[in-house]
Amino acid sequence: KQEVTQIPAALSVPEGENLVLNCSFTDSAIYNLQWFRQDPGKGLTSLLLIQSSQREQTSGRLNASLDKSSGRSTLYIAASQPGDSATYLCAVPPEGNTGKLIFGQGTTLQVKP
Amino acid sequence: DGGITQSPKYLFRKEGQNVTLSCEQNLNHDAMYWYRQDPGQGLRLIYYSQIVNDFQKGDIAEGYSVSREKKESFPLTVTSAQKNPTAFYLCASSIDRGNYGYTFGSGTRLTVV
């Protein structure tokens, strides 16, 4: 059974720092991995989608990497800003790809001005 | 702009009442999903539908019902059998079974009064 873990659960950094959020999964037979952002009381916003054949994806100050063999993905945020404060979730489809997503518990990021 | 619209944003339910949460998408996605989010428990799948007139139970379907009469719409009814319905409900869609990622709505917060 696929399990997704995100470490750390919470992170507080000063503005301008580069930071890395971690996501690990137990079953390496994934189709893709998606990173989301969630602001308090809001829905999920897709940040990056990495297909199983890809090693990384970039969007602006965000870079996500995927290492299937080790069951890990990282989300790198460059030059963090207070507006980056949110909860970040990673998710993978389980074996069989029925369309369901398995989510990690999330990392809540606070960027202090 | 294409997207997913969830309504209402806030919903209050009295004991013993059934309530229906609306989810509409104009992305031409085949698959639609309902997730429930509780503090400290992450997101859990309630129901999902991969094609019109077909849907499957997720991990926590008891006390909920859905219909998929149109491709664009996937309403969720929270019945009186759901004993603890207070939560944040998120609707999502994907082109197929998620090979190209998922799009989420802005959520409905349901509170029992």
pLDDT of residue A86: 98
Using one digit for the tens of pLDDT, what is the confidence trace for A88-111?
999 998 766 566 789 999 999 999
> Residues with Cβ < 8 Å from A84, sequence gap 6 or more?
A77, A109, A111
Cβ–Cβ below 8 Å for B102 and A97: no
pLDDT of residue A4: 95
Cβ–Cβ below 8 Å for A100 and B45: yes
- Binding-face residues of A in 54-93 toward B, CB within 8 A: 89, 91, 93
- What CA–CA distance (Å, rounded) separates A5 from A91? 10
Set of chain B residues whose Cβ sits within 8 Å of the Cβ of A32: 98-99, 101
Set of chain B residues whose Cβ sits within 8 Å of the Cβ of A93: 97-98
Q: Report the residue of B97, B108, B109, B111 to disrupt the A interface, i.e. the one with the largest count of A CBs within 10 Å.
A: B97
> Residues with Cβ < 8 Å from B90, sequence gap 6 or more?
A43, A44, B6, B34, B35, B36, B37, B43, B104, B105, B107
Six token digits for residue B22: 């609306």
Strands A72-77 and A19-25: antiparallel
Strands A4-7 and B10-13: unpaired
pLDDT of residue B28: 94
Helix, strand or coil, per DSSP, at residue B107: coil
Closest residue of A to B89, CA-based?
A43
- What CA–CA distance (Å, rounded) separates A50 from A56? 6
pLDDT of residue A97: 59
Using one digit for the tens of pLDDT, what is the confidence trace for A26-65?
998 888 999 999 999 999 999 999 999 999 999 999 999 9
Closest residue of B to A93, CA-based?
B98
Q: With an 8 Å Cβ cutoff, is B31 touching chain A? A: yes
Asked which of A80-84, B14-18, B63-67 is least confident by mean pLDDT, the reply is B14-18
Using one digit for the tens of pLDDT, what is the confidence trace for B28-78?
999 999 999 998 788 999 999 999 999 999 999 999 999 999 999 999 999
